[in-house]
Structure 1
Amino acid sequence: MKKSAFILAIISLLVGAFGAIALTEAGQMINMPREWVFSYFEYRVTLNVFIVALAVVAIYLLLKGSLLGKKWIGLYGIAIVACLFVINIFAPEFWLRAQQYGAEFMSVEQANQKLSNDSDVFVLEINGDARAYPRDWMQLPHIVGDKIGGQETVMTYCALSNLPVAFNPKMNGQETDFRVIAQVHNNLIFTDRNSGELIQQVTGTAEYSQTQLQQYPVQRMTWQAFKSLYPKGQVFNYKPNAFDQLTLKLFDTALIPHYEGVAMFPTLNEPDPRVKSGEQVWGVTIDGKSVAVTQSHFDKQQQFVAHLPAQDVLFVQYPEFDTVAAYLVDDSRNWQEVSVDPYGKYDGGQLTRANLYSGMPWMIWSHWFPESEIYQ
């Protein structure tokens, strides 16, 4: 009985500890394989039941045989509860609380009292209806929902990838409930509580069904530019508690070397020498082909067309608004010489925005899109 009790207790602790490591940053610190993280999450409910069942039997046997003092049994029970808390509750419910539903927004006038002109904001505009999501206010919730221009939306942000991506939250026509889980390869993964799916943010792909989320184009700019371009827009309003404020300070400190090119987690491919690791790029990926642009290229050419196999893309830098935009174009014009305003309008009509990834460190962009063409 003694041997069985201790074996059950050890197994339950090992399985619980493995899950707590896999579904937190600790797993990425030791470069835990992506497949392990996703597999543990897929079977986490069964594993939760397994852990609890083993713990209950182990505690029963330990008490019945007086094999351990109540103090040690109590500590064992606390350890099991702690593992289950970290696996199921800590990130999605306590630490990184997504706001897909119930997010608060405020007017430009109200936000102007809280933001500085150089604040970094992510902009989502649909049918003339615009929202700004300040980067600093997106670092913890990661996911913010709203209805914009008549469309249901979620803005997501991964601080490690420095990447804002907006999606239509419906998957296969069904409502979702997105929550943050962890990150792999320095990029956010989140789950849909309704379907049990896991989604990799940078690809917008559901892991198990391979469903592709519909993206909405996001443009990144300063607060000064947003309030000039969209004076009637709305701004996401985040209200951090004391624990959030401490976390944000730790985030900001830890991200300094990361953005300089020393990856916070050792899970990336070997550095691609074409560009410095920490240099930020603007990228577009279409039908499995991708292109990235560096600031040095924009210094030479503020407007140019990149030719991807399935689609030409017009990149335009607007220095007066501290922003870059990308548009889908055909070969009907010499687009390098066409005047296009920041709304995508030109003398012949309205261009469709491309899904532009703005600000990703090259080391992370090149990990996810290793065959990317580069304009530099």
Structure 2
Amino acid sequence: MKKAILILVALSLVIGALGSVALTEGGQLINMPRDWVFTLFQYKGMLTVSMLLLAISVLFLSIRNKIFSKLVLSLYAISILGCTFLINWFAPDFWLRSQQHNASFMSVEEADLRLKSSDDVFVLEIDGDARAYPRDWMQLPHIAGDVVGGQDTVMTYCALSNLPLAFNPNMNGQPTDFKIIAQVHNNLIFTDRNSGELIQQVTATAEYSQSELEQYPVQRMPWESFKALYPEGEVFNYEPFLYDHATLMLFDKAMEPHYAGEPMFPTLSLEDDRLPTGEQIWGIHVNDESLAVSANDFADKTQFVVELSDQKILFVNYDEYQTVAAYFVDDSRDWEVTEVDPYGSYDMGKLERANLYSGMPWMIWSHWFPQTQLVN
């Protein structure tokens, strides 16, 4: 009987450990395959039920046959409950708490009392309605929702990829409830609890249906630039819980070598050495083609046009505001000498912004977009 119970103990703990590792950062520390993570998440309910049924059997048989001491059984029960918590609630409900439906915002004047001029902010502007999302305040929630310019929006941020992307949260015409799950290949994955879908942030694609989220262009700039450009804008406000302060300190320390080019998790190919691994780039992806722009590309010019997937794109470096923007353009004029202001306006109208991936380390951009081009 004891041997049979030990087998049940082993099975339950293996299931618990596998699910706990896959759905926390542990899976990436051991380079768990991406497909494993997604599959284990898909069947996490079945895994949890199986683990709990095995645990109940262990406890019942052990108590009935007086196999283990109360201390051993208590430690075992705590381990099973801990695995249940890690698999189902740790990341989305305790550690990285999405604020898709309960985000709060403040005025520029209020935020200016708390932010430094150099603080990094992610800017979402739709029809003149602007929001700033300070990077430091997005590190834990990762997701913040709002209505901007009359549109439902969510700003997402992956600290590992250093990537802010904004989306329309309505997927396939249905409302969503986004929660953080974990990350794979140094990029955020989140789930929609309404549909059960998993979404990879960098690809904006749902894993099971392959539906693509609609993106909104995001521009990155220092706080002082947002204040100057959008004085009537609003600023995302995040009030950390007591235990969040320890997490933020851990993030800051752990990210230093990561942003310097030493990936925190060994899940990147690191085969493309055209740029230094840690160099932060501006990336753009149109249809099936990708291009990365580095700071060196602006060494002797402030704006230039590239062609990607038969589409011309104007990059502009607004040195005064320490920000870069990208716009879709046509052949109607010489855009490399046309003055375009930081709002995208020029003498004949306003340009459409392109979705810009701002701040990604080269090692992560080139992993996800291995066929990426560089500016000639």
Superposed pair shares fold, TM > 0.5: yes
User: What does residue 360 of structure 1 align with?
Assistant: 360
For residue 23 of structure 1, report the CA deviation from its aligned partner.
0.7
Cα RMSD between the aligned structures?
A: 0.8
User: What does residue 228 of structure 2 align with?
Assistant: 228
Amino acid at match of 1:194: N
Amino acid at match of 1:21: V
Work out whether 1:245 is the aligned partner of 2:245: yes
User: What does residue 203 of structure 1 align with?
Assistant: 203
Amino acid at match of 2:279: E
**Matched residue SS, 1:290:** strand
User: What does residue 339 of structure 1 align with?
Assistant: 339
Amino acid at match of 2:22: A
Amino acid at match of 1:176: T
User: What does residue 64 of structure 1 align with?
Assistant: 64
Show structure 1 runs of 5+ residues with no match.
none
Identity among equivalent positions (%) equals 62
Show structure 2 runs of 5+ residues with no match.
none
Q: Which one is further off, 274-283 or 293-302? A: 293-302
For residue 3 of structure 1, report the CA deviation from its aligned partner.
2.1
Aligned counterparts, 1:147-186, within 5 A? 147-186=147-186
Query: Matched residues in 2 for 1:122 and 1:64: separation?
Result: 60
Aligned counterparts, 1:318-329, within 5 A? 318-329=318-329
**Matched residue SS, 2:76:** helix
Answer yes or no: is the 8 Å Cα contact 2:25–2:182 preserved in 1: yes
CA deviations 1:18-42 (Å, max 9, x no partner) are 1100111111011111010000000
Amino acid at match of 1:150: G
Amino acid at match of 2:181: I
Amino acid at match of 1:316: V
Q: Which one is further off, 1-10 or 311-320? A: 1-10
User: What does residue 36 of structure 1 align with?
Assistant: 36
**Matched residue SS, 1:300:** coil
CA deviations 1:187-245 (Å, max 9, x no partner) are 00000011111100000000011010000000000100001000000000111122111
Aligned counterparts, 1:189-338, within 5 A? 189-338=189-338
Query: Matched residues in 2 for 1:360 and 1:92: separation?
Result: 24
For residue 119 of structure 1, report the CA deviation from its aligned partner.
0.5
User: What does residue 100 of structure 2 align with?
Assistant: 100
Answer yes or no: is the 8 Å Cα contact 1:271–1:277 preserved in 2: no
TM-score by length of 2: 0.99
For residue 57 of structure 1, report the CA deviation from its aligned partner.
1.0
TM-score by length of 1: 0.99
For residue 78 of structure 1, report the CA deviation from its aligned partner.
0.6
Q: Which one is further off, 281-290 or 4-13? A: 4-13
Query: Matched residues in 1 for 2:38 and 2:182: separation?
Result: 10
Answer yes or no: is the 8 Å Cα contact 1:286–1:310 preserved in 2: no
Amino acid at match of 2:137: W
Answer yes or no: is the 8 Å Cα contact 2:270–2:277 preserved in 1: no
**Matched residue SS, 1:336:** coil
For residue 156 of structure 1, report the CA deviation from its aligned partner.
0.2
CA deviations 1:281-316 (Å, max 9, x no partner) are 001001010110000111222100110123111100
Q: Which one is further off, 63-72 or 255-264? A: 63-72
Query: Matched residues in 1 for 2:111 and 2:3: separation?
Result: 63
User: What does residue 143 of structure 1 align with?
Assistant: 143
CA deviations 1:122-146 (Å, max 9, x no partner) are 0000111000000000000000000
**Matched residue SS, 2:299:** helix
Query: Matched residues in 1 for 2:169 and 2:8: separation?
Result: 42
Q: Which one is further off, 213-222 or 55-64? A: 55-64
Amino acid at match of 2:107: S
For residue 48 of structure 1, report the CA deviation from its aligned partner.
0.9
Amino acid at match of 1:289: E
Amino acid at match of 2:359: G
Answer yes or no: is the 8 Å Cα contact 2:288–2:309 preserved in 1: no
Query: Matched residues in 2 for 1:258 and 1:272: separation?
Result: 17
Answer yes or no: is the 8 Å Cα contact 1:277–1:363 preserved in 2: yes
CA deviations 1:5-58 (Å, max 9, x no partner) are 221111011001111001111110111110100000001111111111111111
For residue 108 of structure 1, report the CA deviation from its aligned partner.
0.2
